[in-house]
Amino acid sequence: MTEIRRVGFIGLGNMGGPMCGHLARAGYDVAAFDLDGSALARAVAAGARAETSSLDCVRGVDAVITMLPAPPHVEQVLLYDGVIAAMEPGSVSIDMSTSSTAVGARVAAAAREQGVDVLDAPVAGQNIGARAGTLAIYVGGEESVFERARALFEVIGNPKRVFHMGPHGAGYTIKLLLNLKWFIESVAAGEILTVGVRAGVPLDRLYRALVGSPANSNFLEHDVRPVLEAGDYDEAFPMRLVTKDLGLAVDLARDVGVPVELTGLVEQIHRRARVQYGDDAGEVSAIRLYEDLAGLELRLPAEDLD
């Protein structure tokens, strides 16, 4: 197999833009495309070459990376717009979006007919990880194809957090389950903290007790801090994408025949927060919903922010 040096990158948003930039700065020949002209300009500034369409990104490349908002966009670009059909046999399609196993299976079927290899490689680590190049990457697909693409992943993410999860679709599954657990913890933190404060426990003492207990979690210790410190609900990942991911998790559970009552409830709480605060509200707006229901703000005193 030839070494991957020429890459087409489609989707240059909050995550894809920095990821594309890392590859260009690492010396890869990167052809980039996005419908947003300003996003494309930023990729060019990082060293990528601008193309005028997704199909233009396919010409002569060893791999095409897609980083798109949702499964319909993945299907549109790879299948209906003809990216897979235009790829050369022996090249690799790498979808790093949070997508569905159903769309992934249709893409894989089309790729087999074209002689194109396929990897699903969604990421975790938020926009800050994308910019820093410290993302975790969860890859599904043939191990030999994974090894061929490993060098790309180690530029985009933390080399110690690049994982081959199993056959095609395993990466999508892992990412949906990771997101599901995170969103469950967001609801749990909102409930626990507002109940404790309404019951008369000072937030700083309640928070220290929880973090110092067996009930501590990475979410509680780190991810909730921007809310407690500054009322920052993280608009870098909006509620329209949160509810999309939760819907995909519910679909996955239904497909494999597992009843998920808690997941269904958590999905509805986030949908309520989306209706309350809008599509572009931050991803931990479920906590804001509990604050408003309880008539309080969860903010640590300034002396406890260090």
- Spatial contact of 271 and 289, defined as CB atoms under 8 Å apart: no
Residues linked to residue 166 through DSSP beta bridges, in sequence order: 140
Grouping H, G, I as helix, E, B as strand and the rest as coil, residue 158 is strand
Residues linked to residue 156 through DSSP beta bridges, in sequence order: none
- Spatial contact of 43 and 32, defined as CB atoms under 8 Å apart: yes
User: Identity (one letter) of the amino acid at 93?
Assistant: S
| Residue 78: C-alpha distances to residues 173, 174, 186, 244 (Å) | 20, 22, 33, 20
| d(C-alpha 253, C-alpha 248), whole Å | 9
> Of these residues, 160, 175, 181, 244, which one is catalytic?
175
Active site residue 244: no
DSSP state string for 115-131: T-EEEE--EESHHHHHH
Tokens coding 83: 């990216």
Tokens coding 200: 């008369």
Grouping H, G, I as helix, E, B as strand and the rest as coil, residue 94 is strand
Grouping H, G, I as helix, E, B as strand and the rest as coil, residue 65 is strand
The residues carrying an active-site annotation are 175
